[in-house]
Amino acid sequence: MAEPEFLICGCCGGPIDQGRRRCPYCGVSAARAKPPEADQPVERAEGEPLLAPPPRTAAPSLSVAALFGGFASVFGWLFGGFGLIFALVFGLSIDPGPLTSWAYTEPATGVVTSWEATSWTVGGSRGDAGARMYASQYEYRTADGQTRTGAAYTRGAPLDPGQSLQVRYVPSRPHMSRAEGYPNAPLPCWAAFTLAFPLVGLGFIIAGVRRGLRAVYLFKEGTLTMGELTSKKPTNTRINGRTVYKLTFEFQDDSGDPHQVITKTHMPERLEDDEREAVLYDPMDPSKAIPLDDLPGNVRIGPDGCFTVASKTKAFALLLVPAVVTVGSMVVLALMVL
C-alpha cells in the first residue's frame, strides 16, 4: 500500500506534508496525525498563514497588548493610578502623630507667631461647609540654641499670636516637632486608608504584567493546540454588573498527555463561540497555558507565521491610561511639594 502524501492533523484537520513535525496551520505536533480516509478530500487553503516554528518574534504592538490590555492591567492602572493621585492629595495632609509620637522625646517651649486658614473643612454636609481648619505657625528653640518652626492645626479658630505652647521634637531631626494637644496636619491619622487604593491597584498591575509576560513568552516559544471546555462555574465576583465565570479547558500536549488551563472572565461568550478553543501552551511546561480568545488585541497568525494583533493603533492606544496616570501623579506631587 502506497504511503499517503500527507497526514491529517488530529486537532484542526489540516493536511500535514510527510516529513513535517508540526501542523502548519495550528502548530500541533504531527505525532497524532492520521492518514486521510479514502473518501476524505482535503485541500490546502490558499493564502492561509502558517505558524512559524519557535523561536518566533513578538512585535512591539503584540507585547503592549499582552502587558497593558488585560482586565487586570487596565483596572489596576485606572483604580490604582487615580487612587495614587487621590492618596497624594490626602497623604501629604495626614497627621501621623499617633504612630510616630514615640519619636518626639525632647521638650521645648513654643510661641505662636502667625496663622492662616487652610482649604480643609471638617464636619461639613450638603448644606453646611463645616468648620474651617487653621494652621498656626510657632517657633521653638532646641537644646543647641537653634530656632525652629512648626505648625499646629486647629478647627474653627486659630491660635492667638504670642500664645505659649508645649512642644516636643525629634532630637536627631530637630526640625520635626509637635505642639502637645494639637495635630501637625489637617487630616486625622485614620485618613491613611486612602493609601489602600494605590496598593490594591498595584496588586492588579503586578498580576496583569505577570500574565502579559507569560503570554509574550508563549507567543515566542509556545505550541498551539485545541482545547475543549469541560467546566463553567460562576464566581461571587461581578464586573460591570456581569458575573465572572471560572472556565476550565482541557487539552493534550504533543505526547498526548491531558492538561488543564483555568481562566476567569466576565465575558465567557468570547471563549464559547467556537466548538473548540485555541490554547497556547509551553511544551516544556504545559501547565503554563493561555486560551487565545482570553487575550486582548484579537490575536492572530500574521503572514510571517508569528502572532500579531488585528489593530496596532488600538494596541498602542492602551498606553494612554498608564501615561495619563503617570503624568498626572507627577503634576499633583509637584504642586503639593512646591
User: Is residue 272 over pLDDT 60?
Assistant: yes
Contact 235, 242 (CB under 8 A): no
Phi-psi region of 47 (alpha: psi -120 to 50; beta: other; left: phi over 0): left
290: closest CA among 205, 177, 197, 211? 211
Contact 31, 39 (CB under 8 A): no
Q: Does the model's pTM come out above 0.85?
A: no
What's the pLDDT score for residue 32? 66
CATH of domain 1-44: 2.20.28
Q: Cell numbers at residue 307, please?
A: 502572532
Which residue did the predictor score with more confidence, 129 or 101? Answer: 101
Contact 277, 298 (CB under 8 A): no
Contact 286, 259 (CB under 8 A): yes
User: Is residue 171 over pLDDT 70?
Assistant: yes
Q: How far is CA 313 from CA 70, 77, 148, 164, in A?
A: 16, 20, 56, 65
Sign of the dihedral defined by the CA atoms of residues 271, 231, 243, 211, in that order:
negative
Q: What is the mean pLDDT of residues 204-219?
A: 90
Contact 80, 202 (CB under 8 A): yes
Which residue did the predictor score with more confidence, 329 or 183? Answer: 183
How far is it, in rounded angstroms, from Cα 71 to Cα 312? 18
Q: How confident is the model at residue 74 (pLDDT cuts 50, 70, 90)?
A: confident
Please count the other Cβ atoms lying within 10 Å of the Cβ belonging to residue 8.
19
Q: What percent of the chain has pLDDT over 70?
A: 86
Over residues 4-50, the pLDDT tens digits come to 677 877 666 677 777 776 676 666 667 667 777 644 444 444 444 56
Burial class (CB in 10 A: 0-12, 13-18, 19+), 334: exposed
Average pLDDT value for the chain: 83
Q: What is the mean pLDDT of residues 163-188?
A: 90
What's the pLDDT score for residue 42? 47
What's the pLDDT score for residue 86? 79
Give the residue extent of every domain in the chain: 1-44, 60-81+195-331, 97-186
Q: Identify the residue whose cell numbers are 476567569.
A: 264
Q: Identify the residue whose cell numbers are 448644606.
A: 127
SS3 call for 315: helix
